[in-house]
Amino acid sequence: MLVSTNWLSNYVDWNELSVEELAEKITRAGIEVDGIIDRSFGMDNIVIGYVNNCVKHPEADKLHICQVDVGGEISQIICGAPNIAEGQHVIVARPGAILPGGMKIKKAKLRGEESNGMICSLQELGIEGKLVPKAYAEGIYVLPNDVRAGDSALTHLGLYDRILEFDLTPNRSDALSMLGVAYEVGAILSKDIKLPEISYSASAEKAQDVLKLSVEATEDNPMYVAKVVKNVKVAESPQWLQNTLMSAGIRPHNNVVDITNYVLMEYGQPLHAFDYDRLETKEIVVRHAREGEKMVTLDQVERTLNDQQLVITNGIEPVALAGVMGGANSEVHEGTTMVVIESAYFAPSSVRQTSKEVGLRSDASTRFEKGVDPNRVAEAAERAAQLMAELAGGEVLDGSVTFDELDKTPQKIILSPDYVNNRLGMKIAMDEMKTIMDRLQIPTDLINGQLVMDIPTRRQDLKIKEDMIEEIARLYGYDEIPKTLPIVESTPGGLTPYQAKRRIVRRYLEAAGLSQALTYSLASPKDAQAFALETAPVTKLLMPMSEERSILRQSIIPHLLDATTYNVARRNESIALYETGSVFLGIEEDGLPKEVEHVAAVLTGKWVHHAWQGESKKVDFFVMKGIVEGLFEQLGLLDRLQFTKATVDQMHPGRTATVWLDDQSVGIIGQVHPTVQKQRDLQETYVMEMNLQAIMQTAIEELLYEAVPRYPSISRDIALVVDRDTTAANLEKIIKQAGGKLLKKVQLFDLYEGKNVEGGTKSVAFSLTYFDPERTLTDEDVVKAHSKVLDALTVQANAQLRS
Amino acid sequence: MKEQLHELKEQVMLKIKESNTVKDLNDVRVAYLGKKGPITDLLKGMGKLPAEERPKMGALVNEIRESVTEILEERKETLEQQAIQEQLENESIDVTLPGRPVELGNHHPLTRVVEEIEDFFISMGYEIAEGPEVEKDYYNFEALNLPKGHPARDMQDSFYITEDILLRTHTSPVQARTMEAKDGASIKIICPGKVYRRDSDDATHSHQFTQIEGLVVGENIRMSDLKGTLDLLAKKLFGAEREIRLRPSFFPFTEPSVEMDISCFKCGGTGCNVCKKTGWIEILGAGMVHPNVLEMAGYNPEEVTGFAFGMGPERIAMLKYGVEDIRHFYTNDIRFISQFHRSEA
């Protein structure tokens, strides 16, 4: 909503404040003023000129040499506009003027002819092209002849005006009219407001004698008022009206249409003017359109209607799409002499639906959609009739043709001052509350210590007690509310164990060198299920904005790989990222997808890099595995963790493992398949993804202190030659089983395949640590235990001992 | 024999002087003082001396032996010190060479903001509540006083899965769920999480973003409590000298509704490019829980009141750290993420 502060002065006297102060007060009271536009743009030296003489430039086809009277002085100005002519009053920017676009007007020579200024279009004065009357859209603006050369053109055009740009919240549709704004400003400033005085002398002829009305769709159209004005002379509107409309962001057309738009902005009540003669039938019938019925709207578009859409008809065919747009067939035109003014209440939902269906949103439809003030419907029609009499020479027929089943009674709200104060944490006296209601012009009685309020229908946002608390608080001033803290039955607060563990996981991964990434949950069909830990039906959007973001992800890895490719392409070649977040699997009983929190990570490039000491190691499987092991250690689950070789789509078949927690598979780890790496422009890249939720929800043993060893431990190393296929995990398992309770630790410390061992075999070395918390071990004890281990390895793993 | 002894001493002294390493010196010691050395020989030969000379000679031999030993030790110490000195010189390094990097990752700037807010409220006894990102229309809209047909819930603005299920457009459904689950008990929660809206991604819009909301419900919760809470939050996030102001606003789920501005942390309120010359920066929306919302969750709005507030960690991070494009948070450029490593105070 654009509010001209000049126009506002007609209704409320705010002039003891600066525009900035006014804007600030309005903002603080609840309507945000987004900006202040100075329509003069600080221009100067813009005067009205009279074109005394206008001849073609001898050297240029499109230019004219004009002798312009700029107020007691004749100035030669070259003009290139197609519509320049002798005898016109025009806008002249004199040398020294600076136009809103930044153009500085100087004396100049154009093709050898002197030019002392510029004859301007409205656009050149900073008026948007779409607001300039059509007649002057392509050229200079021509003023009427009742002006005087030398006077300020800006004054004449009403450009010494500042506009408040309102950013209205959806509830404040009352401020979609100048009167609504005036009520608001009046309340803020504690000022009375001046409403328009409506008076005109009506003709003896009665409106109901020339027009018949029937409303068939009474639910969507509970009130319809038609006034008839005859002997109208359609012409350009007076300058002040055109100026006012342009200041409100509306393009002037002709006096009749301009008057309906003026009243729309003044009252917030959309009006429509029909050419009475073009209606042909002397009848208006409001009904729903017939399915497939066609009509051509004012914008010359033929529209096919459906049976939900409300239309105004002449009893035969539609002449307007109710509340949305008029029809071309009944449009007011130059030759119109008799006008029907329509003022109606159309149901908000009906207009919203129609305007959406036909794709038309107008100043009228936005107001109907919010619900217009039922008590202004008739008054607005009278106001328009008055202006047509005053400005278009019309003669208003007596009375109006009306259908009215609309409830116009104000709503009552009863409020106790305690209720207000208890909710605000304040002590506002009842009298002060009453004063605020008076400022808002909400009729209020004090009965039995309560405020009994009749809410005017113009404030449709005020429905419940809490709405009135807001009215009181905002006008009393939010700055006056004290600062306290809530007193609630005390709870300890804090993170749940799950949330605390999530933070541990993040901190651990960061300490391990991975940075946290945050990627989108919506994925492409190609990526949605890639690398997924389990297969489940996907969750698709009904109306995606793009295929790229159309399905909820079932794995985090694809987007982490995208992020990696993005980084690598920008020469960030060593990447270590992790992400925790939900994946979406199948549908639960309640209809929602099963959301499971996962953790995923990606590593590529160098892991150890210390150049000048010649240390540089690329990431490999075991770097990622170490990170996973560390994570399980942090969570107290390391001894329940296992890895088994696995085959996963898009992963390297020889370098991928399933991650097991006890006997539950909780994740995958491994290298991205070389082909996929290539497709994604990546070098050797490792990923892991785990069901974090399952891991974090696993119960762990209580953390209890274990005595620090008092007796020394004894270590023994063994070197074995085993089949190449024998896994380290298998050997370790055999060792642990055979070692008995004295064996405390098994650590693989060497692995060799190659020259010095037979083909198909490998050499593995373990360090075994024996320990008894009760006593110092003897050599004998260790030999006994150790030989069992060696036997077991020989028997169960076909291992050969190396000396 | 006396001469022999003196000559021997001279010889040893010379050898000691000539020894430049501890090892050479040791050789000298073994050669002269050892079991097979000349001094031992001399002592062994004492028997041949007349008895009256023996004590005198013995004393002399011992004296020489002691003095040689002493000089040997002195020389040894000198040589050892020299050796250490030499070792130290050899081991000297350029301390300005780069150290071995400790590769630390860091958390995402949004996590940083979210955790700062969470921790602040945890210190005031709040719990952290979470809920599903795919929500029922009921919790996302209806339970929040946005009935079907309400203009604010246009299909065009939300990602629907079915007619009744959508990606949540705010974290408020967590509030609705918590209220329902608490069954009339009082509540103090913070709800952080991802939310989704049908927006094209550009510098100021993202189809996925984060929100963090707070909700307090109980007997006698007042708007002044909201104001006091938000004031502390503003000071915690943006500095102790921040002032706040509340402006009336509109949200369907609160009444009265407010927007909170903080005094500009860049210029202190005098006006600059961060606050667009107003001295104030809009930070969050808040209000008193709408009676309809309380009622739908099973509370009696005549007896129980509440306040709620919500903000966007992206906006806060953009303001705090001067980030100009929201897309940076989701591109995961390591050159961006790694800037949020260090501590702030």
Q: Whose CA is closest to A515, among A589, A586, A574?
A: A574
What part of B 252-271 touches A (C-beta under 8 Å)?
Answer: 255-258
The reported pLDDT for the residue numbered A505 is 96
User: Cα distance from A433 to chain B (closest Cα, Å)?
Assistant: 16
How far apart CA A262 and CA A178 sit, in angstroms, is: 10
Quick one: closest CA in A to B248, which residue? A30
A2-38+162-189: CATH class? alpha beta
User: Cα distance from A154 to chain B (closest Cα, Å)?
Assistant: 28
Strand A664-672 vs strand A522-523: parallel, antiparallel, or unpaired? unpaired
A207-404: CATH class? alpha beta
Kindly provide the ipTM of the predicted complex, given to two decimals.
Answer: 0.88
Q: Which of B101, B106, B333 sits opposite A567 (nearest CB)?
A: B333
What part of B 304-343 touches A (C-beta under 8 Å)?
Answer: 305, 307, 329-335, 337-338
Cα distances (angstroms) measured from residue B335 to each of A124, A575, B100, B206, B331: 47, 11, 20, 20, 10
Contact yes or no for B186 and A488 at CB 8 A? yes
Residue A601 tokens read as 């990570």
Average pLDDT in the B296-302 region?
A: 95
The reported pLDDT for the residue numbered B12 is 84
Residue A85 DSSP label:
-
How far apart CA A141 and CA A90 sit, in angstroms, is: 6
The reported pLDDT for the residue numbered A152 is 95
Cα distances (angstroms) measured from residue A377 to each of A372, A395, A425, A661, B211: 8, 21, 40, 73, 43
Q: Which of A474, A492, A519 sits opposite B330 (nearest CB)?
A: A519
Strand A606-610 vs strand A615-618: parallel, antiparallel, or unpaired? antiparallel
Amino acid present at A225 = V
Could you report the per-residue pLDDT of A525-551, keeping only the tens digit for each?
999 999 999 989 999 999 999 999 999
Contact yes or no for A466 and B288 at CB 8 A? yes
- Best of A436, A478, A539, A692 to disrupt the B interface by mutation (most B CBs within 10 Å)? A478
A497-697: CATH class? alpha beta
User: Burial level of A109, CB count in 10 A (0-12/13-18/19+)?
Assistant: exposed
Residue A630 tokens read as 């560390």
Quick one: closest CA in A to B277, which residue? A35
User: Cα distance from B208 to chain A (closest Cα, Å)?
Assistant: 7
Q: Which of A493, A590, A610 sits opposite B122 (nearest CB)?
A: A493
Question: Are A2-38+162-189 and A714-801 equal in CATH topology?
Answer: no
Domain regions of chain A by residue span: 2-38+162-189, 46-156, 207-404, 411-476, 497-697, 714-801
Contact yes or no for A484 and B159 at CB 8 A? no
DSSP output for A472-526: HHHHH-GGGS-------S----B--HHHHHHHHHHHHHHHTTPEEP---SEE-HH
How far apart CA A472 and CA A475 sit, in angstroms, is: 6
CATH classification for the domain delimited by A714-801, as one of 3.30.70.141, 3.40.50.720, 3.30.70.380, 3.20.20.70: 3.30.70.380
Chain A residues in contact with B159 (beta carbon < 8 A): 522, 541-544
The reported pLDDT for the residue numbered A803 is 62
What part of B 152-181 touches A (C-beta under 8 Å)?
Answer: 152, 155, 159-162, 164-165, 167
Q: Which of B125, B229, B256 sits opposite A470 (nearest CB)?
A: B256
Q: What is the mean pLDDT of each run of 10 residues along chain A (803 residues)?
A: 97 96 95 94 94 92 94 93 94 94 90 93 95 93 93 95 94 95 97 96 95 96 97 96 97 96 97 96 96 94 95 95 94 95 96 92 93 96 97 96 96 96 96 97 96 96 96 96 90 90 96 96 95 94 94 97 97 95 92 96 92 89 97 95 95 97 97 97 97 94 87 93 92 93 93 84 94 90 92 93 77
CATH superfamily of A46-156: Nucleic acid-binding proteins (2.40.50.140)
Residue A742 DSSP label:
G
- Best of A470, A547, A609 to disrupt the B interface by mutation (most B CBs within 10 Å)? A470
Chain A residues in contact with B207 (beta carbon < 8 A): 520, 522, 545, 549
The reported pLDDT for the residue numbered A294 is 94
- Cβ-Cβ pairs closer than 8 A, A with B, add up to 249
Cα distances (angstroms) measured from residue A34 to each of A2, A163, A165, A223, A595: 10, 11, 5, 35, 41
Residue A8 tokens read as 């506002």
Question: What 3-state DSSP class applies to A17?
Answer: coil
B268 pLDDT band, cuts 50/70/90, is confident
A411-476: CATH class? alpha beta
User: Does residue B340 contact residue A530 with C-beta atoms inside 8 Å?
Assistant: no
Contact yes or no for A489 and B218 at CB 8 A? yes
Cα distances (angstroms) measured from residue A442 to each of A175, A437, B166, B256: 16, 5, 41, 18
How far apart CA A766 and CA A685 sit, in angstroms, is: 30
- Best of B183, B233, B334, B341 to disrupt the A interface by mutation (most A CBs within 10 Å)? B334
Contact yes or no for A515 and B231 at CB 8 A? no
How far apart CA A510 and CA B341 sit, in angstroms, is: 10
Contact yes or no for A513 and B103 at CB 8 A? yes
How far apart CA B231 and CA B219 sit, in angstroms, is: 22
B155 pLDDT band, cuts 50/70/90, is low
Q: Which of A466, A486, A539 sits opposite B291 (nearest CB)?
A: A466
Q: Which of A198-202, B76-80, B165-169 shows the lowest mean pLDDT across its residues?
A: B76-80
Q: Which of B122, B198, B220 sits opposite A495 (nearest CB)?
A: B122
HEC letters along chain B = CHHHHHHHHHHHHHHHHHCCCHHHHHHHHHHHHCCCCHHHHHHHHHHHCCCCHHHHHHHHHHHHHHHHHHHHHHHHHHHHHHHHHHHHHHHCCCCCCCCCCCCCCCCCHHHHHHHHHHHHHHCCCCEECCCCCEEEHHHHCHHHCCCCCCHHHCHHHCCECCCCEEECCCCHHHHHHHHHHHCCCCEEEEEEEEEECCCCCCCCCCCEEEEEEEEEEEECCCHHHHHHHHHHHHHHHHCCCCCEEEEEEEECCEEEEEEEEEECCCCCCCCCCCCCCCCEEEEEEEEEECHHHHHHCCCCCCCEEEEEEEECHHHHHHHHHCCCCCCHHHHCCHHHHHHHCCCCC
Contact yes or no for A511 and B111 at CB 8 A? no
User: Does residue A71 contact residue A151 with C-beta atoms inside 8 Å?
Assistant: yes
* pLDDT of residue B151 exceeding 80: no
* pLDDT of residue B42 exceeding 80: no
Question: Counting every residue, how long is chain A?
Answer: 803
